[in-house]
Amino acid sequence: MPPFDPIQHALSVNRRTFLTQSAYGLGGIALALLQNKLTAATGGALAPSALPPGWSGHLREAHLPIRAKRVIYLCMAGGPSQFETFDWKPQLKALDGQLFPASFTQGQQIAQLQNSVLKARGPFTNFQRHGRAGIEISDLFPHIASVADDLCVIRSMQTEQINHDTAHAFMNTGSIIKGRPSMGSWLLYGLGAETQELPGFIVLNSQGKYGLQPISARQWSSGILPSRFQGIQFQARGDAVHYVGNPDGVCQSTQRQVIDEIRNLNNSLAEQTHDPEIATRIAQYELAFKMQSSVPELTNFKNEPAAMLDLYGIKEPGDGSFASNCLLARRLAERGVRMIQLYHRAWDHHSDLEPGMKTAAKDVDQATAALIKDLKQRGMLEDSLILWGGEFGRTPMGQGTGRDHHILGFSVFMAGGGVKAGTVYGSTDELGYRALENPVNVHDLHATMLALMGVDHRRLNSKYQGLDVRLTGIAGEVVKGLMA
């Protein structure tokens, strides 16, 4: 037996209660019951066809209609300003440079503006109405504006964490306590992946010129879940996946022979010890070998036509830019990866808001729109859920030439699978300080995303430290208004 696995804990409680020490004793009825119990718990009794198509995780049935099969989360790390993206505030512009009304800010959390005089900063951009619904979008994002009819813009996001580190943790896991699994891990644990040759949860990183902030691998950690549910980070340099390349001096056919010979040794061991881990190990080596060819195939853009590279605005395929990563994201989506997360670190504009926003918008605008268009033309947008946004927003008050962190109201958008396209949800007050109408907190966003994937977040649990831990945390309501 492998050592204790918290996921199997529930199962072992059953074993304990019903078998080894139970008041039932070892009667035949108890044994039969146990069998049922075990099969129910492991799902062994269910034919694979009873599972929703593409599902291979711990959930045995969809709780809700499945509207999306995968998530592509474009994480604008650093926290983009909502005032220069999706939340047009003419009154804030009018107040530019004047004292910010204390009635808004009294007693509220603040980051680097602690102990400063608070002055309003008007948006430096203009906004136009776009699409059938006339969604106001800043002039910095002409390409995203061109797909306005596919967007569901949330202007009333709220979070609880005002510093980057904890805000990322909260946005990804729903908690700032370490060890909580990230949303990609929830999906992989609950639904499994559709690919066998690639990791089911992949993270890509790119960075801009200004406003960089660090991120952490715990943002894609599987936390208390076994590590097979963690996000695998693709590297910009060297092997795309750690250790996916053969060592120098080892060709692919030698590597194949090595793996075959390892299997021979492992089989010989299995005959003697009957250790069930060995069969799994052999399978993992096969999977690893497949990844050694599927990853290079995946990251090789040779068969992408020039027009496709132009659509995304890719200068050099595989250059680690956000544009290149967006195309890679589409290729991952095609191959059945469940969760694809792109970080673009470029949005922490405490100073130099104007050049910072302009540069960062240029980095992501065209490629984001291209991803939406590309998925759409392939018929994949309808079952891909796209989320675009930062870990928080920015203050309507200025900080030098920039804006500080802000958590009481900011904007994100969703697109694709099951999302109410061409709409705006929620709004902030006249100065954009606080979400007023239909506030959406991070837990609600999580609940809604899971609902679109067919999962009731209240029923996605795992055993940990003896507790039935709801993976999304205890809060969160599905926001029906975001769903088509």
The interface with other proteins within residues 17-76 (CB under 8 A) comprises: 17-27, 30-31, 33, 37
Q: Which stretch binds other proteins (CB under 8 A): 3-11, 54-62, 88-96, 353-361?
A: 3-11
Q: Does 179 bind other proteins (CB under 8 A)?
A: yes
Q: Does 275 bind other proteins (CB under 8 A)?
A: yes
By CB under 8 A, the residues from 245 to 274 that bind other proteins are: 245-251, 254-255, 257-259, 261-262, 264-266, 268-269, 272-274
Q: Does 294 bind other proteins (CB under 8 A)?
A: no
Q: Which stretch binds other proteins (CB under 8 A): 45-53, 235-243, 308-316, 378-386?
A: 235-243
Q: Does 94 bind other proteins (CB under 8 A)?
A: no
- What's the min distance (Å) between Cβ of 62 and other proteins? 15
Cβ pair 285, 270 in contact under 8 A: no
Cα(478)–Cα(444) distance, rounded to whole angstroms?
A: 6
Beta carbon nearer to other proteins, 218 or 446 = 218
Q: Which stretch binds other proteins (CB under 8 A): 87-95, 163-171, 374-382, 423-431?
A: 163-171
Site size for other proteins (CB under 8 A): 115
Give the contact letters, 371-390, x = binds to other proteins (CB under 8 A), - = no.
Answer: --------------------
Beta carbon nearer to other proteins, 145 or 198 = 198
- What's the min distance (Å) between Cβ of 151 and other proteins? 28
Q: Which of 47, 53, 102, 237 binds other proteins (CB under 8 A)?
A: 237
Strand partners, 398: 403
- What's the min distance (Å) between Cβ of 197 and other proteins? 9
By CB under 8 A, the residues from 393 to 412 that bind other proteins are: 400, 404-405
By CB under 8 A, the residues from 326 to 345 that bind other proteins are: 343, 345
- What's the min distance (Å) between Cβ of 268 and other proteins? 6
